[in-house]
Structure 1
Amino acid sequence: MTARYEWRGDFDNAALNALHADGFGHPVARTDWRARLERHSLGWVCAREDGRLIGFVNVAWDGGVHAFILDTVVARDCRSRGVGAALVATAAGEARAAKCQWLHVDFEEQLRSFHFDACGFRETAAGLIAL
């Protein structure tokens, strides 16, 4: 099967909540993703296979030259097939088309190889305050 990637693809909240729960290992929430994305995002990428939502990434931005990927998730049964890297590549291309100059990401240590090796991010100095 081949995944199809859609910039600002249509989705329903239930499907995205189920994917998020599967991918991040938590109970299914009732997040209104549509409202959240419309309010804060440059766009998002949906990966579908046979009509099923199997991957997602949110591209938030500052309204200028900085974009940020958040909530990158691939269904557990679809991992290690390049879906995540293709989601990020699509997000990067669309952010570039929107005249963004920088694409930022933060991640947990176990995802270091994915972001640096599979997606092409470079290590930078950054800061974080836990709130």
Structure 2
Amino acid sequence: MTIDYEWRGDVDNTALNALHADGFGHPVAATDWRTRLERHSLGWVCAREDARLVGFVNVAWDGGVHAFLLDTVVARDRRSQGVGAALVAAAADGARAARCEWLHVDFEEHLRGFYLDGCGFKETAAGLLALKQSP
């Protein structure tokens, strides 16, 4: 398995929507990722095995020294093979090259080991305000 990681790689909306649905377990959407990324992101990393998109992470930022990981996703059949950690490492390299000083991530409890142990993040105090009420 040879996987290539590309900072600000070409984004195919159809492929990314399919990967996102596979990774997060929801129906395939019609999100215009290319426009969203160009408008709001410092960068992103695409992981490809041959021509197939097998991983993705978005790096949003504040326009200064803080960058934020969003939408980290790996195809189900490529999980537990180091793809996610390599995506995060490439995202950190891209943010560092853009002179960011901090890379933030929030995550669900079941991903604690991945981010803290596998990717080297340190636990911090943070807050979250839900803006949309659950039904």
The structural deviation recorded for 1:47 is 0.1
Mapped to 1, the partners of 2:77 and 2:31 lie a distance apart of: 23
For 1:14-38, what per-residue CA distance to the aligned partner results, in whole angstroms no more than 9, with x for missing partners? 0000000000000000000001001
Structure 2 unmatched runs, 5+:
none
Query: Aligned-pair distance for 1:2?
Result: 1.2
When the two structures are superposed, what TM-score results if normalisation uses the length of structure 1? 0.99
Name the counterpart of 1:103.
103
Aligned partners of 2:11 and 2:33 also within 8 Å: no
* Structure 1 residue 50, shift from structure 2 partner: 1.2
> What do the CA deviations read for 1:19-71 (whole angstroms, capped 9, x no partner)?
00000000000000001001100000000001100000000000000000000
Q: CA RMSD in A?
A: 0.4
2: CA distance, partners of 1:116 / 1:68: 15
The CA deviation at 1:82 is: 0.2
Runs of 4+ in 1 over 4 A off after TM superposition: none
The amino acid across from 2:37 in the alignment is: L
Structure-2 residue corresponding to 1:36: 36
**Native 8 Å contact 2:43 2:60 kept in 1:** yes
Percent identity, aligned pairs only? 82
Q: TM-score, normalised by structure 2?
A: 0.96
Superposed CA deviations along residues 73-93 of structure 1, whole A, max 9, x for unmatched, are 000000000000000000001
Partner of 1:26: 26
Q: Unmatched 5+ residue regions in structure 1?
A: none
Other-structure match for 1:88: 88
Where do residues 1-131 of structure 1 align in structure 2 (5 Å cutoff)?
A: 1-131=1-131
Mapped to 2, the partners of 1:10 and 1:28 lie a distance apart of 20
Q: Structure 1 residue 11: deviation in Å? A: 2.0
